[in-house]
Amino acid sequence: MAQYDVELILMRQLASGLSVPIVLFGPKGDVLFYNEPAEPLLGLRYQETGPLTADDAQRRVRLTDERGREIPLADRPTATALGRQRPAHAQVWLTAADGARREVEVTAFPLLAQAGGLLGAAVMFWERDAR
Amino acid sequence: MNVTFYGTRGSLATPGRATQRYGGNTACVVVRGEDGSMLVLDAGTGIRAAGRSLGRDARRVDILLTHLHMDHIQGLGFFGPLYTPGMEVHVWGPASSTAPLDTRLGRYLSPPLFPVLLRDLPCRLHLHDVHPGEVDIGPFRITAQNVCHPGPTLGYRLDEAGAVLTYISDHEPALGADRFPAAPEWTSGWELARGADLLVHDAQYTREEYPSHVGWGHSSLHDALAFGALAGVRRLALFHHDPARDDEALSAAVEAALAEVRPSFSVTPAAEGDSITLSSVVGCSPLPRGAKGEST
């Protein structure tokens, strides 16, 4: 068991204190953490799943367009944040692990350390008709 | 490996009769390797005396800065070896995305705050921006990691032939941790401290003081003890004493915390002048001077 970088630890702490659904990704696309507000959106409970591999996360939660077509991995905001190290935003349909489908806005930004290096990405979700 | 405390106080130097026992100088710890190599951890006001302890034959000294807050660099300009022509002085400090170490240190070591410029020092000065990772200095394998404290701040793990010292002078592990102290992989500094023979760790506040200082980057005594237990250290030296706490109050606070927690490892409040020897084979030796408030 290895310790996470302190920037990720602090990002998790921040996410834990916010009401906005946030998912914290590692540099290779693994889901390291998601906060409580993200749980109903994803249809998952972090206490039960713990961290998820990228493959496992993609199997459980689907991102599609309004017609239900799968959004290619490379076109997703998380991929932009991790791959190009740029922030990205998109409006998509999210099908949760429990089958619920919601229209959401997704904003992802890379977590870049002061000393350089990509640590992961933080991804915020906003349900379109939530507020 | 021998570890000697030259400054144990946090935030502000506090000389005077009321702090004679634990000392009033700010952070500075000297580590000597078995071959005589000298590392200095932080350059608080204690470094002035530390500079005088360098042997006459010494040609090199390395200073590892955890971060650039004033109580960790204020003594740097008064470190004698900087003024010794030919002396090789290496200063290592946390990398930042805003400016290199020489620029950031130069903000203090330049007029009007200080009369001598870094570039005018007669020693052979080398400045190193430290990124998280490992580096070898003399007999020491040094691991640096960012730790939870405002601004770029490093903790250091020094390993000499299996003897391990972890130095995390300014640290608030409870801030970022998930259910502290329950999840080690989500606890800042845990990997640095894991299984250390000696952990020197921030313990600035009492448990009662901590809630009004959350986010300031420091630990309560109870959190320092919990962190030591989580990391499975063999010995903990409580460090970065609050400048508002005199000797009597510090002893009382530590004794109360130890009586309540009853840690399974040795604990002592770090005091100026105290030395601890870590053996590469059998772990720690006893404190040569009277251990203060020690619990085993």
Cα B176 to Cα A12: distance, rounded to the nearest angstrom: 7
Angle at A106 between CA A102 and CA A107, to 5 degrees: 165
Taking CA–CA distances from A1, the nearest residue in chain B reads B185
Number of structural domains found in chain B: 1
Inter-residue contact B90 to B102 (CB < 8 Å): no
In a domain, B293, yes or no: no
Find the chain B residues whose C-beta atoms sit closer than 8 A to any C-beta of A: 94-98, 129-132, 145-148, 152, 175-178, 184-191
* pLDDT of B293 higher than 80: no
Q: What is the pLDDT of residues B198-221, one digit of tens each?
A: 999 999 999 999 999 999 999 999
- Top mean pLDDT of A67-71, B57-61, B240-244 is at B240-244
**Binning pLDDT at 50, 70 and 90, where does residue B117 land?**
very high
* pLDDT of B108 higher than 90: yes
Q: What is the pLDDT of residues B162-212, one digit of tens each?
A: 999 999 999 999 987 767 998 899 999 999 999 999 999 999 999 999 999
* pLDDT of B97 higher than 50: yes
Q: What is the mean pLDDT of residues B3-23?
A: 97
* Inter-helix orientation angle B221-231/B247-261, to 10°: 50
User: What are the b/e assignments for B138-169, b being 16+ CB within 10 Å?
Assistant: ebbebbbbbbbbeebbbbbbbbbeebbbbbbb
Q: Which pLDDT does position B137 carry in this prediction?
A: 97
Sheet bearing A62-64, strands edge to edge:
A31-34, A22-25, A118-127, A101-112, A88-95, A62-64
In a domain, B262, yes or no: yes
Nearest CA among B239, B283, B275 for reference residue B42: B239
Task: Note if the pTM is more than 0.90.
Answer: no
Query: Bigger pLDDT: A81 or B151?
Result: A81
Q: Which pLDDT does position A115 carry in this prediction?
A: 77
Inter-residue contact B134 to B204 (CB < 8 Å): no
Range of the domain at B224: 2-284
In a domain, B292, yes or no: no
Mutate to test the interface with A, among B98, B134, B185, B194 (most CBs of A within 10 A): B185
Inter-residue contact B133 to B94 (CB < 8 Å): no
CA of A71 vs chain B CAs: smallest distance (Å):
32
Q: What is the mean pLDDT of residues B43-71?
A: 95
Q: What is the mean pLDDT of residues B3-13?
A: 98
Q: Which pLDDT does position B47 carry in this prediction?
A: 98
Query: What average pLDDT does chain B have?
Result: 93
Residue B139 belongs to domain with CATH number: 3.60.15.10
Taking CA–CA distances from B192, the nearest residue in chain A reads A3
Q: Which pLDDT does position B290 carry in this prediction?
A: 35
In a domain, B291, yes or no: no
* pLDDT of B283 higher than 60: no
Q: Please give the domain boundaries of chain A with CATH numbers for all domains.
A: 6-127 (3.30.450.20)
Q: Which pLDDT does position B281 carry in this prediction?
A: 52
Cβ–Cβ gap A6/B176 under 8 Å: yes
Q: What is the pLDDT of residues B123-135, one digit of tens each?
A: 999 999 999 999 9
Residues of chain A with pLDDT under 70: 130-131
